[in-house]
Amino acid sequence: MKEKQRVLVVDNDESTRKSYTKILKTDPELRVQVARSAEKALIEIEKSAPDIIVCDLVLSGMGGLELCHHLKGNPNSELYNIYLIVVSSGNTKQEKMKCMSEGADDCLLKPVDPDELLASVKVGQRISSQLKKTELEAKRLFQEIDVLLLQDGGCAPGYNPVTAFITYHLEGMGRQVYATLEGFKSLVNGKDSDFLRLVYSPDLFKKLDHTPGVFHAAPLSEWRGAQLRSERYKDYFREEIQERAAATIKRRNVKAIIAIGGNGTFKGIMALCNLISTSIQVFFVPVTIDSDIAGTECIGQNTGIEMGSEKIRCYMADARTHKRIYIIEMMGASSGFHALHCCLGSRAHLAVLPNSIIDHKKVVNALNQRQECVIVVAEGYKKEERSARGKKINAAEYFYKELLATNIPIKRRVVCEPFSRDIRGAAPNNQDITLAQRMAYNVAEYLKAGTSRLMPAVSSGKEYAIPFNEISTDNMVEKDLLVLSDRLTRGNINNIASPHD
């Protein structure tokens, strides 16, 4: 038997309550309740929320608009979807528009016509039924999760495309793809609102887009940034927090997890692997500008180098024009991969990396023989030392202070520039788009084959997989390149630089 929808009539006047009740009871699909004040209505709502409320605008105590604000003030509240019909003694269109602008779903003007009241409630019935259906679909949507994508940490170019490509391949295999809205943080929270259902097919999206939490992944293939990620969730590395994440995975019956990100994300997923069943397939896709995952190219590194090198070239031109020295901080927290390759790509004069051993006097003497110079300093340069000494300055400024500490006067003007985050927002270039497609296809094939704990890798054009227990997150730079990154203190130094120096 179909459940009747509940209507709550709120009015101070007893005869009005009886009149509305008599009218509404002519509809056999309705069950009518009454309240003589907004305060009494709230007590009834607290017990069990009705589907529809018919409320007079003017009430003793709390007024109709106050009740409206209480119900409609928070879109995330369970009370927000109650269909609210306000009855006003005003007889103007402006009065009706005012009530609806305050949040009422409909407004009837006195004297209320019985047919109009029934018609308004009938509209409320249809909308309430549809909302209930949608809520039920949304609740069912996240009860069980097939393949869960999880991103955390940085914002390297390529996060969005690889998300789209993975969704495309898995959907083609008949799998259902989900994602955490904010990385590990959402996994720990574990509510329905912390997840999204990713859909690539436009036709499938049209069928599901009315359901809250369904997200069209296809456009991500051309989007910058990372739509589904959070800032690094530092609390995640507490054991009790990780256990909450693992409990969410068990409760949602997650079949497979694909983590996407850099070394921080990999360490996070490795910690999770120790707490979840080995029957859950887990994979990792490296996306990081600084290429801090060893043994493979990383999605985002090519775009990062291209954009970073162009930035340094601009400083090179300005340094030549104004005869000054630029010390530029660039990305490179551990190995300095990004800073090194930006230096090489732009032909900057010196790369100072996290593990560089610098003869600062030699650098100052070399600078004093030049009219211009650009030095690239990795953000991780002496990071622990800076922290231990309480120096809240960037790596470029710290390196400059070390040069000043030699007490050798520097003849040219020195300008220090902090790390610029605009590189992270760059559109991924063709190399990274291609790399994202290759890795997305391979990780889908690994999942299909029933394997687990693997990372797709590409090096020198060759594709292979690296098991989790063989992945290193300390991707040291090639020593041979370090020689090329020092054009300042090695070789001949001309007093007047050539246009290409």
**How far apart are the C-alpha atoms of 397 and 404, rounded to whole Å?**
10
- Find the helix packing angle between 38-47 and 64-72, rounded to 10°: 30
Q: What is the mean pLDDT of residues 40-48?
A: 91
Assess whether the previous peptide bond of 161 is cis (omega < 30° from 0): no
230 pLDDT band, cuts 50/70/90, is low
**How far apart are the C-alpha atoms of 275 and 139, rounded to whole Å?**
26
- The verdict on 231 and 359 lying in the same domain is no
Residue 30 is assigned to a structural domain of this protein: yes
- Answer yes or no: are the C-beta atoms of 330 and 356 closer than 8 Å: no
Domain boundary pick from 104, 125, 141? 141
Confidence at residue 494, expressed as pLDDT on a 0 to 100 scale: 36
User: Collapsing DSSP states into helix, strand and coil, what is residue 373?
Assistant: strand
Residue 491 is assigned to a structural domain of this protein: no
Domain boundary pick from 93, 120, 141? 141
Domain count, the chain: 3
In the 3-class helix/strand/coil scheme, how is 443-456 assigned residue by residue? HHHHHHCCCCCEEE
**How far apart are the C-alpha atoms of 251 and 142, rounded to whole Å?**
10
Residue 158 is assigned to a structural domain of this protein: yes
What pLDDT digit, counting tens, does each position of 172-212 carry?
999 999 999 999 999 999 998 899 999 999 999 998 887 88
Q: Within 10 A of 4 (CB to CB), how many other CB atoms are there?
A: 13
Token output for 149: 């994508």
- The verdict on 378 and 288 lying in the same domain is no
**420 pLDDT exceeds 90?**
no
Residue 230 is assigned to a structural domain of this protein: yes
Domain boundary pick from 116, 141, 166? 141
434 versus 232: the higher-pLDDT residue is 434
Domain of residue 97, CATH code:
3.40.50.2300
Length of the chain: 501
Q: What is the mean pLDDT of residues 219-239?
A: 85
- The verdict on 33 and 48 lying in the same domain is yes
Residue 493 is assigned to a structural domain of this protein: no
Domain of residue 401, CATH code:
3.40.50.460
Q: Within 10 A of 21 (CB to CB), how many other CB atoms are there?
A: 16
Residue with tokens 């009241």: 117
DSSP per position, 169-231: HHHHTT--EEEETTHHHHHHH--GGGEEEEE--HHHHHHHTTSTTEEE-GGGGG--S-SS--S
- The verdict on 373 and 396 lying in the same domain is yes
Domain of residue 256, CATH code:
3.40.50.450
Residue 275 is assigned to a structural domain of this protein: yes
- Answer yes or no: are the C-beta atoms of 295 and 457 closer than 8 Å: yes
- The verdict on 441 and 322 lying in the same domain is no
- The verdict on 402 and 451 lying in the same domain is no
**How far apart are the C-alpha atoms of 96 and 86, rounded to whole Å?**
9
Assess whether the previous peptide bond of 111 is cis (omega < 30° from 0): yes
- The verdict on 327 and 408 lying in the same domain is yes
423: phi then psi, degrees, rounded to nearest 5: -60, -35
Element (H, E) at 464: strand 462-467
375: phi then psi, degrees, rounded to nearest 5: -115, 130
What pLDDT digit, counting tens, does each position of 397-415 carry?
999 999 999 999 999 999 9
Residue with tokens 């300008």: 415
What pLDDT digit, counting tens, does each position of 296-332 carry?
999 999 999 999 999 999 999 999 999 999 999 999 8
Residue 246 is assigned to a structural domain of this protein: yes
- The verdict on 324 and 418 lying in the same domain is yes
- The verdict on 400 and 445 lying in the same domain is no
- The verdict on 99 and 122 lying in the same domain is yes
Confidence at residue 213, expressed as pLDDT on a 0 to 100 scale: 87
Confidence at residue 396, expressed as pLDDT on a 0 to 100 scale: 96
Residue 420 is assigned to a structural domain of this protein: yes
Which range has the worst mean pLDDT, 35-49, 74-88, 234-248, 264-278?
Answer: 74-88
Residue with tokens 């090179």: 316
- The verdict on 102 and 211 lying in the same domain is no
**How far apart are the C-alpha atoms of 369 and 412, rounded to whole Å?**
10
User: Collapsing DSSP states into helix, strand and coil, what is residue 118?
Assistant: helix
**How far apart are the C-alpha atoms of 494 and 268, rounded to whole Å?**
50
**How far apart are the C-alpha atoms of 7 and 25, rounded to whole Å?**
10
Q: What is the mean pLDDT of residues 5-28?
A: 93
**How far apart are the C-alpha atoms of 273 and 417, rounded to whole Å?**
41
- The verdict on 164 and 291 lying in the same domain is yes
Element (H, E) at 416: strand 414-417
Beta-strand relationship, 106-109 and 83-88: parallel
Which residues form the domain of 18? 5-141
